[in-house]
Chain A
């Protein structure tokens, strides 16, 4: 597959930012690997999912939070560049919204991730911020509370990781070397 420079550059920036988000998000989660529904939740309150992970109360969420928000900014800025590039170059229209080299399921999966799941990650992330929800309470109210937003943030991450596994598997199955050449150099296989 041949990719334009803007798709190639934003793809690899996103790869690094997404990896950093998953690693730092895990560090934050390990401080309290338990999920709740509604506004509140904590030790002594009823949870909806107790992850089989240890509580690591050793301050790992400190660097975790710093790296998480830094990579979130990179991810958002990069995503905006990708969206502007994709809309203006016709990449969305040509490759994702109409019949193309990609199968229907493939296009549906990419569209869901790009325009559904990634914006939902940003939204649920912002819905956990006490300053943001002071300015715009509706951001958290639609989810039924701050803990619900946290739980959705976790569930959507899990769905994105499943998508990533499928994405990497398909790259391998359809010719790893030529696919990598396409995404790195933009050359035809």
Chain B
């Protein structure tokens, strides 16, 4: 038989436990440790992984970089270029009319042509890109740091996520990054690969590259970048097209 003392102790422990959990959830949200797709039973695992990896990388370490001799001879791709008219017209014109728009919570909404992007300070990095399917390759990427474009546009202090839209928003993967990955020095808007212009199937004219996450986060065929505070009001509200296909928003593992 449970004594009265035992009932009281158990009750107090339960209340303390629930309060601690609520406080932890509040703290986690405040420090950006909860991913947009945190719902459901799998969301528990996603949140633990995201929070643990954000704490582990709080000093923003660089992903490993390699030497030219380690660049892979074969760089496989998944997915086809957008087959809509706008993209095909840009492609036939070698992207002369292409512009990359930056809007949302920025002081100076702007757009850049490919020639203008090439004029900006560039960074080249030889990094490892793994696909969630299991294969991987090493390639050299050349482009402008996203941080440079964000600084030029003047990002609001309210910014929580940066959203990336490809040409064909409906049929191509759109995605988003938190500010930790958006400001990271290795997060590039890449227009070159292995010393040549970015090949069409690798996302021409420009793509995102995020070497601290798996390949599917590196959005190809970029058209627009938008800075937001509330990701739940974008698209499906889960921060990425990936959850529609069963894949998580965060892909650092």
Contacts and interface: CB of A to CB of B under 8 A. Distances in A.
| Chain A interface residue number, banded | 35 or more
A57 B211 CA distance: 23
Interface in B168-225: 211-214
A32 B137 CA distance: 14
Contacts of B44: 70, 73
A154 to B, nearest CB: 10
Interface in B100-148: 128, 130-138
Q: For chain B, give the interface size range.
A: 35 or more
A11 B208 CA distance: 45
A133 B134 contact: no
Interface in A140-181: 140, 146-147, 150
Given A62-B247, A134-B57, A134-B63, A69 B49 contact: yes
A32 B130 CA distance: 12
A53 to B, nearest CB: 12
Given A59-B246, A73-B45, A146-B130, A130 B214 contact: yes
A45 interface: yes
Interface of B is mostly: loop
B253 A70 contact: no
B211 A130 contact: yes
25 contacts: A28-B134, A29-B134, A34-B134, A34-B135, A40-B136, A42-B136, A42-B137, A43-B76, A44-B74, A62-B245, A63-B42, A65-B132, A66-B42, A66-B246, A67-B45, A69-B46, A70-B44, A128-B130, A129-B53, A129-B253, A131-B212, A134-B62, A134-B211, A135-B56, A135-B61
Interface of B: 41-42, 44-46, 48-49, 53, 56-57, 61-64, 66, 70, 72-74, 76, 128, 130-138, 211-214, 245-248, 252-253
Interface of A: 28-29, 31-32, 34, 39-45, 57, 59, 61-63, 65-67, 69-73, 128-135, 137, 140, 146-147, 150
7 closest cross-chain pairs (CB), A and B: A62-B246, A70-B45, A131-B252, A42-B135, A32-B134, A66-B42, A44-B74
